[in-house]
Structure 1
Amino acid sequence: MNQIRLYDTTLRDGSQAEDVSFLVTDKIRIAQKLDELGIHYIEGGWPGSNPKDIAFFKDIKKVSLSGAKIAAFGSTRRAKITPDKDNNIRTLIQAEPDVVTIFGKTWDFHVHEALRISLEENLELIYDSLAYLKEHIGEVIYDAEHFFDGYKANPAYALKTLQAAQEAGADCIVLCDTNGGTLPYELPAIIAAVKKSVSTPLGIHAHNDSECAVANSLVAVENGIVHVQGTINGFGERCGNANLCSIIPSLVLKMESPCVADEQLKSLRGVSRYIYELANLVPNKHMAYVGNSAFAHKGGVHVSAIQRHPETYEHVRPERVGNVTRVLISDLSGRSNILAKAEQFNINLDSKDPVTLEILEDIKELENKGYQFEGAEASFELLMRRALGTIRPYFSVIGYRVIDTKRHEDEKTLSEATVQVKVGGRIEHTAAEGNGPVNALDHALRKALENFYPQLKEMRLLDYKVRVLPAGKGTASVTRVLIESGDKMERWGTVGVSDNIIDASYHALIDALQYKLLKDQGR
């Protein structure tokens, strides 16, 4: 199979996604990560469209990249203007990128309705623009916009547009499924027709409106495409672009196309999370290969099998893409789940140990009440250690009180918490205010305990989720609170359930504090 060249457009097409926006500094950092991953082309943006992209092309010149080429994106010249007079074309050259990518119209419908010119004039736009750019830039890529729709509407004309690009000297012609409506079974015949008409290397640029962008990209490679465009995490307008986080490992691990090195592939999950972080978005845990749930096992039969042979329920080894096997704990769990978790926490359990069965029954009873341990592994470890009697009683809470006060209608509600905790033989009685009752309770507990355990000052509450269970009971419903806490070293999740939201939060907070002290002690 041919060497596949990867072309990332996260910084341009990806930033057109709803809720995604990158600062110039973000774009520089992302480009460096993509370079480390082994991406061959990084499309930095459209320098003629906004000041941010102009700044990127200026600043990226100061960065030393190991192998990636920086591409600038733009369109063919405007009608009635020669390329040397077209501001868009001139701006592309002035940006001094390694590569220029321009798009042109392939669909006769767009030529008539969007450009309002003749089909012959459009061919001239494509040829003139590419020929002029080739005189000034070493490598020029042509994106045939709406190619598949254009081919299905008027195959003869769609192919003529590609021939114009080839005659102008384009280094690669990219077939774009701009509306994302093409299905995988349609590609082989269309690509075969294209290969009979042009000899220039071909690329694919797929959108995900039919949930087929990754599949279309892989089918295209199977049919001789050598250049694949996409974005990290599938970011993009509408339903997104082809997701390189799925395409890359599929090419390397399943199609024997080593587009990145094995060590670079191991960084894939890290790159995915990094870009989610800079986009300020919550990672999709169910994403193939790199998601938190991609190699997570919940059913007891599955867990028992993967412990003997991981390939029974894992299509690739997660370590190859920087991920890990995770064993989830729920009312579907069997002994194998408990034993796998115990091993992860360095707890010595035996399948015949009565404590194992006791933990299993406790979990099922607690989950029946509304507990969920899949996002609260710290609470689960504490549960196991309490059953084994191997956890030190760092502190006990004698009692607490939380008061919300609103003196006037136009004033902010004031929250105050008072707690009594016992550490050893000493009792500490403290009060603290907070931004809401849970925050006040968190502050009061810390204030009481930090004199005894100064390391708690490092701990932060990172996320707080409330779920009402079951639905339909209104204010009488049971509440489940999931809290994510962290310090400089790691993050951990804890859970509390009660028909009182403050009490549920209290239990999750206590587990979070206990876990911090446990892990700092070295378990």
Structure 2
Amino acid sequence: MKQVLIYDTTLRDGMQGENICFSPEEKVKIAQKLDDMGIHYIEGGWPGSNPSAVRFFDLIKDVKFKCAKIAAFGSTRRANTRAREDRNLQALVKCGAPVVTIFGKSWNLHVEKIMNNTAEENLAMIEESIVFLIGEKREVIYDAEHFFDGFIADPDYAIATLKAAIKGGCKTLVLCDTNGGTLPHELEKITRTVTATMEQTYDFPVQIGIHTHNDIGMAVANAITAVRAGAGMVQGTINGYGERCGNADLTSIIPILALKMDSPCVSPENLKKLLPLSRFVSETANMTPLNSRPFVGKSAFTHKGGIHVSAVMKQSCAYEHMDPSLVGNKRRVLVSEQSGKSNVLYKAKEMGLDLGPDDAFSQNIISAIKELEEDGYQFDVAEGSLKIIMEKLSEQYESHFELESFRVSIEKNRDQPCYAHATIKIRVGDTFEITAAEGDGPVSALDNALRKALTKIYPTISDMHLIDFKVRVIEGSGSTDSKVRVLIESRDENNIFSTIGVSEDIIEASWQALADSFQYKLALDKENSV
């Protein structure tokens, strides 16, 4: 299959997603990561719509890219306005981007009912805008907005809008499923019709692209279907960020094309950067990574059932459709009340634990984990605590500090928010540390106090940050009081790890999870220093 060009619009269309926002400086960093991944086009924003986009294009002028072309986005000229006098088109030229992507209307509903325009003037707007931009020495990509809805309503007019773009000099036409409601079989039929029409009408190649939204959960399927129907460019966003239900997710599309369809959109070396790229974008957007996201999600190659694990240990293809390392991911095996011996042996090997001759500790570990999960623990979501439990039960645990005592107080002054104060005393070897700290709540205060005490002895603690804190009430049975389960997710420069605590007291449960997170971090640092 021919090479498919990847066009990323995370920095524009992705930012239209709820709670997604990047500063111009952050957009530059993401663009550099996209370029390193081997993305062909990076859309930086709409310079005619906001100062932030203008700032990005000013910053990006001084950045050297080894692969990607930077594109600016905008619309065709306004109705009854000369192209060279249109402020939007002037801004597109002024921003300096070598590629300009403009969108125009393909659906007569939008032309006549929304814009109060005429069909003839809309065609002129498309053609004249492209003529102007090409005259300014820009590579032009034309996005045919609402193309599939427009084609269903009036195929002749929808095709006429594409021909207007070609008449203006554009040779890359992107068919947009803007409402995201087209089904794959409809999209394939229409895309094949368009590609056949272009081949029959013109004696030069016309590149067809695809831009899909996920409003009925078909964005990725529609993008892949369009490629099968002749599209040679795919537009999408990292992690599928975008307006409403999002855009086509490039973290799925890229590996599908490269590994499942033998379409070399990126090199095998760059494909391994997919997971780090996904994580970088989600971290920059301050969005929690979706564990179930295909290919790059934490759970994408995770196994929990004992039968599955036993089979994967013999033949990975028994329950995995591909080698996770190809996209920078890795296999994970969970240990829970549903686990068998295979799960425990796999995790022990993965964690570098020796379970002794004939797996002497494995049965004890299985029994203990099932009892703890009966009490409310959930180790499949807290692998940091799982490792500590397995180390303790196999007599390999090394504590990096011991708690002597702590005290937490909460104060409320009139209309001011509550704040907490924690005092903690810990022992490291023969050394005692007593520190105090404040926080926005009791857990925050404890975290700050423990961090303050440990940093004096273990400076690398400063690299670790708490990124998520969840509390769930677990209903008791019979005479048992309700318990709370606390999950804490932490990260340092290279790792994300989760720990757990369960108690009838929320502070005690929080302390268990918090202490485990610091113990796990210090163990990681020791392993990495060896």
Cα displacement (A) at 1:130:
1.7
Correspondence list, 1:85-484, <5 A: 85-199=85-199, 200-349=206-355, 352-406=358-412, 409-410=414-415, 413=418, 415-419=420-424, 421=426, 433-445=438-450, 459-470=464-475, 477-484=482-489
Report what 1:13 is aligned to.
13
- Root-mean-square deviation (Å): 2.6
Cα displacement (A) at 1:309:
1.3
Q: State the AA in 2 paired with 1:88.
A: N
Count of matched residue positions in the alignment of Structure 1 and Structure 2: 521
Contact 2:215/2:245 (<8 A) preserved: yes
Report what 1:512 is aligned to.
517
Contact 1:376/1:495 (<8 A) preserved: yes
Q: State the AA in 2 paired with 1:134.
A: I
Cα displacement (A) at 1:455:
5.9
Cα displacement (A) at 1:295:
0.9
Give structure 1 stretches of 5+ with no counterpart: none
Deviations 1:102-155 (A, max 9, x none): 111111111111221221222222222222222223421111111100010111
Deviations 1:324-382 (A, max 9, x none): 11111211111111111101111123694342011011111111111011232121111
Q: Cα gap change, 1:22/1:435 in structure 2, threshold over 3 Å: closer, same or farther?
A: closer
Bigger mean CA offset, 267-276 vs 159-168: 159-168
Q: State the AA in 2 paired with 1:515.
A: Y
Percent of aligned positions that are identical:
51
Q: Which secondary structure does the structure 1 equivalent of 2:140 belong to?
A: strand
Contact 1:335/1:351 (<8 A) preserved: no
Q: Cα gap change, 1:229/1:388 in structure 2, threshold over 3 Å: closer, same or farther?
A: same
- For residues 317 and 437 of structure 2, the distance between their equivalents in structure 1, rounded to whole angstroms, comes to 52
Q: State the AA in 1 paired with 2:4.
A: I
Structure 1 residue 60 corresponds to structure 2 residue 60: yes
Q: State the AA in 1 paired with 2:18.
A: E
Q: State the AA in 2 paired with 1:388.
A: S
Deviations 1:188-213 (A, max 9, x none): 22122212322322111111111101
Contact 1:75/1:102 (<8 A) preserved: yes
- For residues 21 and 447 of structure 1, the distance between their equivalents in structure 2, rounded to whole angstroms, comes to 32
Q: Which secondary structure does the structure 2 equivalent of 1:364 belong to?
A: helix
Q: Which secondary structure does the structure 2 equivalent of 1:198 belong to?
A: helix
Deviations 1:415-464 (A, max 9, x none): 44455555556777766554432334445555666676666566544432
- For residues 71 and 450 of structure 1, the distance between their equivalents in structure 2, rounded to whole angstroms, comes to 46
Cα displacement (A) at 1:257:
0.3
Bigger mean CA offset, 157-166 vs 193-202: 193-202
Q: Cα gap change, 1:319/1:93 in structure 2, threshold over 3 Å: closer, same or farther?
A: same
Deviations 1:34-92 (A, max 9, x none): 11111111111111111121222222111100021111111111121121222222222
Q: State the AA in 2 paired with 1:233.
A: N
- For residues 272 and 159 of structure 2, the distance between their equivalents in structure 1, rounded to whole angstroms, comes to 40
- For residues 140 and 458 of structure 1, the distance between their equivalents in structure 2, rounded to whole angstroms, comes to 45
Q: Given the two structures, how large is their TM-score scaled by the length of structure 1? A: 0.92
Q: Given the two structures, how large is their TM-score scaled by the length of structure 2? A: 0.91
Bigger mean CA offset, 187-196 vs 327-336: 187-196
Cα displacement (A) at 1:313:
1.1
Give structure 2 stretches of 5+ with no counterpart: 200-205
Q: State the AA in 1 paired with 2:55.
A: A
Q: Which secondary structure does the structure 2 equivalent of 1:275 belong to?
A: helix
- For residues 427 and 78 of structure 1, the distance between their equivalents in structure 2, rounded to whole angstroms, comes to 73
